[in-house]
Amino acid sequence: MTNQTIPSDPFDAFDRPDLYEGLRSKRIFAFLIDAIAVAILTFGAGVLVFFLGIFTLGLAWLLYAFLAPAVALLYTFFTLGGPDAATPGMRAMGLEMRVWHGAKPYGLLAAMHVLFFWFSFTLLTPLVLLVSLFSGKKRLLHDIVLGVVVMNSRALHR
């Protein structure tokens, strides 16, 4: 038999505590920034749908039922799933997301991340956020389920 070493976790909280310093409060502020951005984009899309509704004799107004979730999903798909691996709110707070093995998230994973967040938050109450108090990497329930890690960008790129 040969001695094989198990590869260590590249984002270990004990080896690299700087990756997770102030993470909870930064994620809260990043969420607020992104919520404001999505609200502004949803308002703009609502105005567009209004004028489309006039031209389509009211048919386009059916889009209002799906407008806010669609804007939020597209926002997350293109920003968190993009090359920066962060939404504008996350970038403003100096955060970045990685898959457990170090790769950047792709669009579908980013969309699933926001869907799992809202489903867990809605179904399991906001108390589901307490999971981060017991997680070494300060991960939330939907992070654990999807195998992603959110961390400080500066520490990650050092």
Residue 46 inside a domain? The answer is: yes
Residue 49 inside a domain? The answer is: yes
Residue 113 inside a domain? The answer is: yes
Is 0.95 surpassed by the pTM of this model? no
Residue 88 inside a domain? The answer is: yes
- From CA 93, how far away is CA 33, in angstroms rounded? 9
> At 123, is the pLDDT very low, low, confident or very high (cuts 50, 70, 90)?
confident
| 22 strand-pairing partners | none
Residue 1 inside a domain? The answer is: no
Summarised one tens digit per residue, pLDDT across range 42-98 is: 999 999 999 999 999 999 999 999 999 999 999 999 999 999 999 999 999 999 999
- From CA 64, how far away is CA 54, in angstroms rounded? 14
Would you call 99 helix, strand, or coil by DSSP?
strand
Residue 7 inside a domain? The answer is: no
| Domains held by the chain: number | 1
Residue 70 inside a domain? The answer is: yes
Domain containing 101 equals 19-156
